Amino acid sequence: SRFAVLASGSGSNLQALLDAYPENVAVVGGDKRDAFAFERARRAGVPVVHLDPKDFPSRESFDRELAERIASYDVSLVVGAGYMRILSPVFLGRFPAVLNVHPSLLPAFRGLDAVGQALRAGVEETGVSVHFMVEEVDAGPVVAQEAVPVLKGDTKETLLKRLHPVEHRLLVGAVADYFRGGLDPEKFHSGKDFA
């Protein structure tokens, strides 16, 4: 039950996965050379794959190379943990399943800056979703979701601080469910999603 993690930022979700499954994180991939997530991987003795989008003429060529490199680590699951690039079918089609954590109650607030969107919308409740990645952004079947209150005077920082522990818990649980066979991706998408 080896899996890969993709990250672009600080990697607090990656850290939760490294803490929970130190033997199972086979590789950490990403597009930002100086992402602290990579430092976390190095400290855990986990190999890192960094590719710079600027070195590739297209999204597809970047995704193809990333998929090749990640697949060479013999993983049966990829987890997006704050990975900030859209993964094309070229990448998604290479793996049995790709999970992602998103800081909103999907389908609400899809896309970038979900936390800022929720604050600007003035909702009293937002939350965290773990879903399968499909070609359409933040549209895959949701496998775990939990609401988090938005309090008066919340800023992005205070709201993110409240969301992060929920993200970590849901993501760690979803990976366990997946490997226990509880999240059969075939139940969620037909082959057409990964042309």
Q: Which of 28, 46, 66, 81 binds ligand GRF (CB under 6 A)?
A: 81
Counting contacts by CB under 6 A, is residue 9 touching ligand GRF? Answer: yes
Counting contacts by CB under 6 A, is residue 104 touching ligand GRF? Answer: no
Answer for the pair 26, 4: CB distance below 8 angstroms, yes or no.
yes
What Å distances lie between residue 132 and 92, 104, 162, 167, CA to CA? 10, 15, 23, 15
- Total of chain residues touching ligand GRF, rule CB under 6 A: 14
Counting contacts by CB under 6 A, is residue 101 touching ligand GRF? Answer: yes
What Å distances lie between residue 14 and 37, 165, 183, 185, 191, CA to CA? 7, 12, 20, 22, 29
CA atoms within 13 A on the CB side of 165: 5
Distance CA 155, CA 157 (A): 5
Counting contacts by CB under 6 A, is residue 24 touching ligand GRF? Answer: no
Counting contacts by CB under 6 A, is residue 10 touching ligand GRF? Answer: yes
Instruction: Write each residue from 110 to 149 as x if it is in contact with ligand GRF (CB under 6 A), else as -, in one continuous string.
Output: ----------------------------------------
Count, residues in the chain: 195
Binding piece for ligand GRF, criterion CB under 6 A, among 4-12, 42-50, 70-78, 105-113: 4-12
Q: Which of 29, 30, 103, 185 binds ligand GRF (CB under 6 A)?
A: 103
Structure tokens at 94: 């290479």
Does 131 qualify as catalytic in the annotation? no
Counting contacts by CB under 6 A, is residue 82 touching ligand GRF? Answer: yes
Structure tokens at 140: 């895959």
Q: Which of 167, 170, 175, 185 binds ligand GRF (CB under 6 A)?
A: 167
**Site of interaction with ligand GRF (CB under 6 A):** 7, 9-14, 37, 81-82, 101-103, 167
Q: Which residues are catalytic?
A: 102
